[in-house]
Chains A and B, each alone.
Chain A
Amino acid sequence: MEVWVSILLSICAASTPLLLAATGELVVERSGVLNLGVEGMMIIGAVTAFSVAQASGSVYGGAGAAIFAGAAFSLLFAFLTLTLVANQVATGLALTILGLGLSGMIGESFVGLPGLKLDAVAIPGLSGLPVVGPFFNQDPLFYTSIVLVVAVAWFLFQTKAGLTLRAVGDSHDSAHALGINVIAVRYFAIMFGGACAGLAGAYLSLVVVPQWTEGMTAGRGWIALALVVFASWRPWRVLLGAYLFGAITIAQFHAQATDASEFSHLPQWLFAIIAWATSLPAQFLTSLPYLATIVVLVLIAGNRRLTMINTPASLGKSFVPDR
């Protein structure tokens, strides 16, 4: 029992950064913009959170600074793609390349330093419950990620502003003709995505591994992008997808560290699978989340009806207002 609770808690920790970043990107893509710079914004968030927490001694200060840094960094992308109508794919890549380089330079002096860890906060009343209690005694960013999904789902589908944002994403020309300021809506959406990615980065350097390592995002920003496609642009499915990927990550992690003989009491077929998985070289298991991403993308894209209905129709297209 204890073991399973700790495994489930580690799945929460692996899923939360994916969920934060993917929820932000979902809003960006719903407004019709494809920002491939999630990985770059995330790592800028990670290095900012670590360094500000070091300097100020406050982990919350670090997390707040990461939100700000992610949003500020995303403005670079917004200015290029919205104001200068540069190609979104190329500019997103540029944001990732610059973010990885810049974070490496900023964080050079922090390598190897012990970081500050964001402590768990118990929710009064709920954390004392049997069985489910531990899930209400986690770090505040975990709660934030869940609240964020609820808030985004409500915003997109229950508010007028959310409807406006989706209209911009589905047909920027019609939205413009209705007097909506397409560019302004997209600026806000991109900054929201940047803030979320920054917070996701902060989660990595303040909770998952409280230290700074160069390139510590390790492709999570890209997986978050894939999750948005997987979720066919629906917030609740992002939650599902993020936890699915978190589970895969933890499963491969445990398979690398486990002695198969511990599981000999399990049914024979299950034991055989575990024995086989643990005998694989570590590199194969590490590849698993990336391979799973590809498989999921293929399955989702193969279902054309599903993707056609939900894909924001203006996704990735540049918009130049005619005066």
Chain B
Amino acid sequence: MILQLEKRPQASPLLSVLSPLLALLLTAAAGLIMFAILGKAPFSALYTYFIEPLTDPWMREQILVKATPLILIAVGLSICFRSSNWNIGAEGQYLMGGLFGAMLPVYFYELQSSLLLPAMLLMGMLGGALYAFVPAILKARFNTNEILSSLMLVYVAQQLVDWVVRGPWRDPGGFGFPGTRSFNESATLPKLWQYGDAHWGAVLAIVSALIMWFVLSKTLQGFKVTVIGTSPRAGRFAGFSAGRLTVVAFLVSGALAGLAGIGEVAGSVGKLDDKLSLGYGFSAIIVAFLGRLNPLGIVAAGLVLALSYIGGEAAQISLGISDRATRVFQGLLLFFVLACDTLIHYKISLTGLRQQKSQGAAG
């Protein structure tokens, strides 16, 4: 038996919608097997992971909080990945966003101004964009592999944040724990409602997804992204500059990752500490592909991934399942998403070897 692929004349629109759902189903099936191997009751574990968080209002809110940075980063990645610019250093851009944004409340601690928060958000975007500019310009100018350079910068950013929160920016009254002083209220993102954890970052995430959806699907700029991404040669003939697009895509993506970073610092934590790097920049890659690089799909995908995080925490507490299982789930999900994407462009059939040989002889 052998798998055979036959190219469809056109991408199947039905399967482009169904393939992410199919991938989710396959991941759930793989999860059942994994839980059985771990010696847990598979179905109740799966329920704790993916259904229970939805029934509880507090957990629903946590999902929104978790989804915020994932959506922001993944929306930025969509423009990069669509144009074949492989920015996999979003984690570093996210950290630099947090660092740049935190600069204002750290150095102007007493400042009380309604302009402080917008300035912090802008600084965060600037930090992320500047950090993304490095691999972008190296690719556009010197033809340097952006995958490796953007990733290497993640390790550098982690060290840089580690240094500032242990060194120059450490809270003198913090009993030696790494981290800055807690920001004043004017430097924290307001909550969406009283006594809640959800902050205005969630709104920024939705708005940025809508804007990106509009730009990518309704404007000439968005068309350029698709053309250069799918056929660089055609893009050159049309006079589109691939180098310029590389820089723009990285800047936008970096700015959004930076916004996610300062959103976490000013929204969820209220200070810059050594626990900012949680791998959102990498999980967002999964979100981007699960959302099929469509900003609206990414909103849904971000919520799904956030659900897996919250469900993972719940499963750890109630069933004693390691929180590492969440990352295994996310890795499996990306595999299944990529595998199911094949269905969109190809018809898959199983052929017996003998049959294939006779076909070969006939043809």
Which residue numbers of A lie inside 8 Å of B, CB to CB? 36, 76, 80, 83-87, 89-91, 93-94, 97-102, 104-105, 108, 218-219, 222, 225-226, 229, 281, 283-284, 286-287, 290-291, 293-294, 297-298, 301-302, 304, 307, 320, 323
* The one of A97, A105, A293, A320 that contacts B148, using a Cβ cutoff of 8 Å: A293
Whether A86 and B159, one on each chain, are in contact in the complex, defined by CB atoms closer than 8 angstroms, is: no
Number of contacts between A and B (CB, 8 Å)?
138
Interface contacts beyond A98-B331, A229-B145: sample of 13 additional A-B pairs, CB < 8 Å, sorted by A? A36-B147, A91-B338, A97-B285, A99-B331, A101-B329, A101-B331, A104-B327, A222-B151, A226-B145, A290-B153, A290-B156, A291-B156, A293-B149
Chain A: minimal CB distance from B36 (Å) = 15
Q: How near does chain A come to B334, taking the closest CB pair, in angstroms?
A: 4
Expressed in whole angstroms, the Cα–Cα distance for A90 and B3 within the complex equals: 22
Q: Give the top 7 A-B pairs by smallest Cβ distance, nearest first.
A: A98-B331, A101-B327, A283-B159, A105-B324, A283-B163, A104-B324, A94-B334
B residues touching A (Cβ–Cβ < 8 Å)? 3-5, 7, 86, 88, 138, 142-145, 147-149, 151-153, 155-156, 159-160, 162-163, 167, 282, 285-286, 289, 322, 324-332, 334-335, 338-339, 341-342, 346, 348, 356, 359-360, 363
Chain A minimum-CB-distance residue to B325? A105
Contact A108 B322 (CB under 8 A): yes
CA A99 – CA B3 in complex, angstroms? Answer: 26
Q: How far is the CB of B120 from chain A (nearest CB, A)?
A: 24
CA of A104 to CA of B331, assembled, Å: 12
B267 CB, nearest partner CB in chain A, Å: 26
Q: Is the CB of B148 within 8 A of A222?
A: yes
CA A213 to CA B329, docked complex, whole Å: 21
Contact partners of B5 in chain A: CB under 8 A = 84-85, 320
Contacts of B328 in A (CB 8 A): 98, 101-102, 105
Q: How far is the CB of B17 from chain A (nearest CB, A)?
A: 19
Asked if residues A293 and B152 are in contact (CB atoms below 8 Å), the reply is yes
Q: How far is the CA of A266 from the CA of B5 in the complex (A)?
A: 67
Q: Is the CB of A219 within 8 A of B342?
A: no
Interface centre among B152, B356, B363 (most CB of A within 10 A): B152
Given contacts A80-B335, A98-B334, A102-B331, contact A323 B324 (CB under 8 A): no
B contact residues around A80 at 8 Å (CB): 335, 338-339
Would you call A226 and B338 a contact (CB within 8 A)? Answer: no
Question: Which of B3, B153, B325, B327 has its CB near the most chain A CB atoms (within 10 A)?
Answer: B327
Bound complex: CA A299 to CA B326 (Å): 40
A297, B144: Cβ atoms closer than 8 Å: yes
Q: Which of A97, A287, A290, A298 contacts B138 (CB 8 A)?
A: A298
Name the one of A86, A93, A307 contacting B339, with C-beta atoms under 8 angstroms.
Answer: A86
Which of A76, A222, A290, A320 has its CB near the most chain B CB atoms (within 10 A)? A290
Complex CA distance for A229 and B324, rounded to whole angstroms: 33
Main secondary structure of the interface of B (DSSP, over half): helix
Chain A residues closer than 8 Å to B331, beta-carbon distance: 94, 97-102
Given contacts A283-B160, A287-B155, A290-B156, contact A97 B282 (CB under 8 A): yes
Most chain B CB atoms below 10 A, which of A85, A283, A302: A283
A137–B35 CA distance with the chains assembled, in angstroms:
46
Assembly CA distance A102 to B329 (angstroms)? 9
Binding site secondary structure of chain A: helix
A99 to B327, CA, bound (A): 9
CA A89 to CA B155, docked complex, whole Å = 20
The 30 listed contacts between A and B (C-beta, < 8 Å) are A84-B3, A84-B5, A84-B338, A85-B342, A87-B338, A94-B286, A94-B334, A98-B331, A98-B335, A104-B322, A104-B327, A105-B322, A105-B325, A219-B151, A226-B145, A281-B167, A284-B163, A287-B155, A287-B159, A287-B160, A290-B155, A291-B152, A293-B148, A293-B149, A294-B138, A297-B149, A320-B346, A323-B356, A323-B359, A323-B360
Contacts of B160 in A (CB 8 A): 283, 287
Residues of A within 8 A of B330 (CB): 97, 101
CA distance A76 to B334 in the complex (A): 12
Q: Which residue of A lies closest to B356 (CB)?
A: A323
Find out whether the CB atom of B147 lies under 8 angstroms from the CB atom of A89.
yes
Most buried by B among A76, A83, A84, A94: A94
Query: B282, A294: Cβ atoms under 8 Å?
Result: no
Q: In the complex the two chains form, is A108's CB within 8 Å of B324's CB?
A: yes
B327 with A97: CB separation less than 8 A: yes
Expressed in whole angstroms, the Cα–Cα distance for A36 and B147 within the complex equals: 9
Across the interface, name the chain B residue whose C-beta is closest to A90: B338
B207 to chain A, nearest CB (A): 27
User: By the criterion CB–CB under 8 Å, are B152 and A290 in contact?
Assistant: yes
A98 to B145, CA, bound (A): 23
Neighbouring B residues of A86 by C-beta, 8 Å: 338-339, 341-342
Least CB separation from A286: chain B residue: B159
Contact yes or no, B143 A302, CB < 8 A: yes
B226 to A: closest C-beta gap in Å: 16
